[in-house]
Amino acid sequence: MKIKAAVVFEKGQPFQIKELELDSPKHNEVLVKVKACGVCHTDEVARQQIIPVPLPAVFGHEGCGVIEELGPGVTTFKKGDRVAFSYGYCGSCEACRSGQTYGCKENRRLNFSGTQFDGTKRLHDGEREVSSFFGQGAFATHAVVHVNNLIPVPDGVDLALAAPLGCGIQTGAGAVLNYIKPGPASSIVITGCGPVGLSAVMAAKIAGCTTIIACDIIDSRLEMAVALGATHTINSKKVISVPEEVKRLTGIGANYAIDCTGIGACVRQSLNCTRSLGTCVVLGATQELTIHVENELMGPGKTLVGIVEGCSVPQIFIPRLLEYYQKGMFPFDKLITFYEFKDISKAFEDTHNGKVIKAVLTM
Ligand SMILES: NC(=O)c1ccc[n+]([C@@H]2O[C@H](COP(=O)([O-])OP(=O)(O)OC[C@H]3O[C@@H](n4cnc5c(N)ncnc54)[C@H](O)[C@@H]3O)[C@@H](O)[C@H]2O)c1
Ligand SMILES: [Zn+2]
Ligand SMILES: [Zn+2]
């Protein structure tokens, strides 16, 4: 069928909305009429080819929509079902079978190779094959998606709102609720208050952290952090040392720190905000980092760990986040600004400039 999609033809080039051919769903896939798709920093990272997804490609990996057609073998969904999309996993490797789909051995291939589950592509521009991102390619009016990427969205939740849960929001919230699981009355420092960091702030409040310190360089983001549950804020441009400031607020440093900036120096700073035996979780896509291992890590017995997608099994965790949302405990809608699909370049520009926190495109 003919669809409209935002295509990136060359490294760093703008999105071009154009007509492409989309094949019918194959084994265990469905055709979805896309309703909305969140804009994630990782789309930009791939557009710049820091993650080398073969081009041309249709990015967009926080999609949602309504199922229009079932491919062979699909038994757990039906036409008309409302679904959100998340990352792909194989379902049969050791990690998947032990309930840790975020550690799937096929993670790279299923999410970043540009192909679908079976290794082939569904999108074509004339004779040329076009990649899809995370097995979705949801910056488009329609997408063919494998059932492992799908999460049913309950009635009573605005479908478009569910889009960004599939990556950035579950990453921040899951780091706290699935990985750290904070002990009673604990302290946490969250650096980088974009959608990922602010989701971690909301989750820290749910988890009962009594000291939630948000750190950023943009005051409006720190104000949003307070509105969502932060007890203290630090504008790192306005203090001499963030770790010293955290020590002043907590006595001996925080139990936990999460870095959501993707900047090596900030990761090191986050590690140094923790007390002995503390844990520092890296969520930002960080390239390189130098630390003095004995003084900063081994000696004080700290844990420095990187995790993806907040250790979330999306089919379990996203319905739980929606439950928190419906109870008023996880107001992630406050982060969202909607844009029409045709304004995709503006949505990326406004996100890049820090003008909006989470842009969501509506198709
Ligand atoms: N691990 C995963 O599975 C996963 C999933 C989604 C996103 N990510 C990554 O998480 C990171 C955050 O994503 P996002 O969408 O929230 O990004 P974002 O760009 O919206 O947020 C980053 C925030 O960091 C702040 N910042 C920049 N420099 C700073 C400094 N020196 N001190 C303090 N704050 C500073 C920015 O002002 C911004 O608010 C990105 O690197 C993204 O690629 C990882
Ligand atoms: Zn697997
Ligand atoms: Zn993402």
Residue 238 token pair: 């306005």
Percent of the chain surpassing pLDDT 70: 100
Give SS3 for 50. coil
pLDDT for the residue 266: 98
CA 84–ligand 2 middle distance (angstroms): 20
When pLDDT is averaged across residues 236-250 and rounded to a whole number, the result is: 97
pLDDT for the residue 288: 92
When pLDDT is averaged across residues 285-291 and rounded to a whole number, the result is: 93
Mean pLDDT of the chain: 97
pLDDT digits 0-9 by tens, 42-101: 999 999 999 999 999 999 999 999 999 999 999 999 999 999 999 999 999 999 999 999
CA dihedral 36, 37, 38, 40 (to 10 degrees): -170
Find out whether the beta carbon of 41 lies less than 6 Å from any atom of ligand 1: yes
Amino acid at 292: H
CA 206–ligand 1 middle distance (angstroms): 21
Find out whether the beta carbon of 197 lies less than 6 Å from any atom of ligand 1: yes
Find out whether the beta carbon of 199 lies less than 6 Å from any atom of ligand 1: no
- The counts of H helices and E strands in the chain are 12, 18
pLDDT for the residue 263: 96
User: Domains, the chain, ranges and CATH?
Assistant: 2-166+331-362 (3.90.180.10), 172-308 (3.40.50.720)
Phi then psi dihedrals of residue 332, to 5 deg: -70, -15
When pLDDT is averaged across residues 329-348 and rounded to a whole number, the result is: 98
Identify which of 22, 33, 32, 30 has the alpha carbon closest to the alpha carbon of residue 72: 30
Find out whether the beta carbon of 260 lies less than 6 Å from any atom of ligand 1: yes
Whole-number Å distance between alpha carbons of 190 and 280: 10
CA 208–ligand 3 middle distance (angstroms): 26
Considering every ligand atom shown, identify the ligand nearest to the alpha carbon of residue 99 and give its number.
2
DSSP string, 186-217: -EEEEE--SHHHHHHHHHHHHTT-SEEEEEES
pLDDT for the residue 277: 98
CA 308–ligand 2 middle distance (angstroms): 14
Give SS3 for 311. helix
Please give the sequence-ordered ranges of beta strands (E in DSSP) within 200-273, or none if there are none: 211-216, 232-235, 254-259
Burial of 248 (0-12, 13-18, 19+ CB in 10 A): exposed
pTM above 0.85, yes or no: yes
Find out whether the beta carbon of 308 lies less than 6 Å from any atom of ligand 1: yes
Contact 72, 26 (CB under 8 A): yes
Identify which of 37, 310, 314 has the alpha carbon closest to the alpha carbon of residue 148: 314
Between 219-228 and 195-206, two packed helices, what is the crossing angle to 10 degrees?
Answer: 30
Find out whether the beta carbon of 174 lies less than 6 Å from any atom of ligand 1: no
CA 165–ligand 3 middle distance (angstroms): 9
Contact 87, 163 (CB under 8 A): no
CA 359–ligand 1 middle distance (angstroms): 14
Find out whether the beta carbon of 239 lies less than 6 Å from any atom of ligand 1: no
When pLDDT is averaged across residues 133-152 and rounded to a whole number, the result is: 98
pLDDT digits 0-9 by tens, 250-280: 999 999 999 999 999 999 999 999 999 999 9
pLDDT for the residue 158: 95
pLDDT for the residue 327: 96
Dihedral over Cα of 172, 174, 180, 181: its sign: positive
Question: Which residue has the CA at smallest separation from atom 32 of ligand 1?
Answer: 216
pLDDT for the residue 4: 98
pLDDT digits 0-9 by tens, 167-178: 999 999 999 999
Question: Which residue has the CA at smallest separation from atom 33 of ligand 1?
Answer: 216
Phi then psi dihedrals of residue 126, to 5 deg: 60, -125
pLDDT for the residue 299: 98
Find out whether the beta carbon of 196 lies less than 6 Å from any atom of ligand 1: yes
pLDDT for the residue 294: 98
Amino acid at 260: C
Question: Which residue has the CA at smallest separation from atom 20 of ligand 1?
Answer: 194
Instruction: Report residue 32's pLDDT band, with 50, 70 and 90 as the boundaries.
Output: very high
pLDDT for the residue 144: 98
CA 194–ligand 1 middle distance (angstroms): 6
Indicate the DSSP class of residue 276: E
pLDDT for the residue 257: 98
pLDDT for the residue 29: 98
